Amino acid sequence: MSTLTTATEVTPPPRFTQESLGWVPWVEPLDELDLTERHYEGLVQRPRAKNPYFRLLARDPEVLGARTRTDLDIFYNTADGLGRAERELGAAVASRSNGCVYCASVHSAFATHFSKRSDDVQRLLDDGVAADLGDETWNAVRDAVVALTATPVRFGAEHVVALRAAGLDDVAVLDVVYSGAFFNWANRLMLSLGEPTVG
């Protein structure tokens, strides 16, 4: 039987951060010792079993498997289209817009790692999604993802025009949509299942 986590176990982060955070589920995840090969197939990568979020989602391994393969394809299949830094930026923008402190910490750190633009990324975290991110491409990615995150019908031709004007081809524009839309959904899932904690 599942048990609820008490709020006393959580130390909320004081702000959005690029530092590594923990995450505490409100419903007990599966114990790592109870995972079967079916669960590991859903996890796709065995080390994910150490993460309580993925062990919670492993209660439905088929859905988790589809979610994980989609996630990996969006962020790691970078032979064509958008660069990894801009994909991570899209996830960070969606997370900052949705208030998902945990996801914002993970993807802002990746955006900094791949772009070496820590100040621009931190400005997004500190000032929010209206912040100037330093160049036409990043601002166009931000605007497109913010529109998708607010409601998909807000994303329109003007966002595609701005992305193309910033030098993105059609495949890269699709990658902006994929990274923003996926994390718009992923944030809502994570926000409904637990909360971030320091340490």
Q: What's the gap between Cα 191 and its chain centre?
A: 12
Question: What type of residue is 31?
Answer: D
Bridge partners of 25, per DSSP, are 194
What digits encode the pLDDT tens for the residues 17-34? 999 999 999 999 999 999
Per CATH, domain 80-189 is 1.20.1290.10: yes
Residue-level pLDDT at 87: 98
What digits encode the pLDDT tens for the residues 98-123? 999 999 999 999 999 999 999 999 99
Check whether 4 has a pLDDT greater than 60: no
Tell me the three state secondary structure of residue 170: helix
Check whether 76 has a pLDDT greater than 70: yes
- Mean pLDDT along residues 88-105: 98
Long-range contacts of 167-176 (CB under 8 A, 24+ apart): 167/137, 168/82, 168/137, 168/140, 169/81, 171/80, 171/81, 171/82, 172/81, 172/82, 172/86, 174/81, 175/74, 175/81, 175/82, 175/86, 175/87, 175/90, 176/82, 176/86, 176/90, 176/141, 176/144, 176/145
Tell me the three state secondary structure of residue 152: helix
Check whether 57 has a pLDDT greater than 90: yes
% of the chain surpassing 90 pLDDT: 92
Residue-level pLDDT at 1: 46
What is the C-alpha separation between 159 and 112, in angstroms, rounded? 24
Confidence class for position 10, pLDDT limits 50, 70, 90: confident
The mean-pLDDT minimum among 3-12, 117-126, 141-150 falls in 3-12
Residue-level pLDDT at 179: 95
- pTM for this prediction: 0.93
Residue-level pLDDT at 199: 75
- Mean pLDDT along residues 56-67: 98
Long-range contacts of 43-47 (CB under 8 A, 24+ apart): 43/68, 44/68, 44/69, 44/72
Average pLDDT of every residue of the chain? 94
CATH 1.20.1290.10 domain span(s) along the chain: 80-189
153: DSSP letter = G
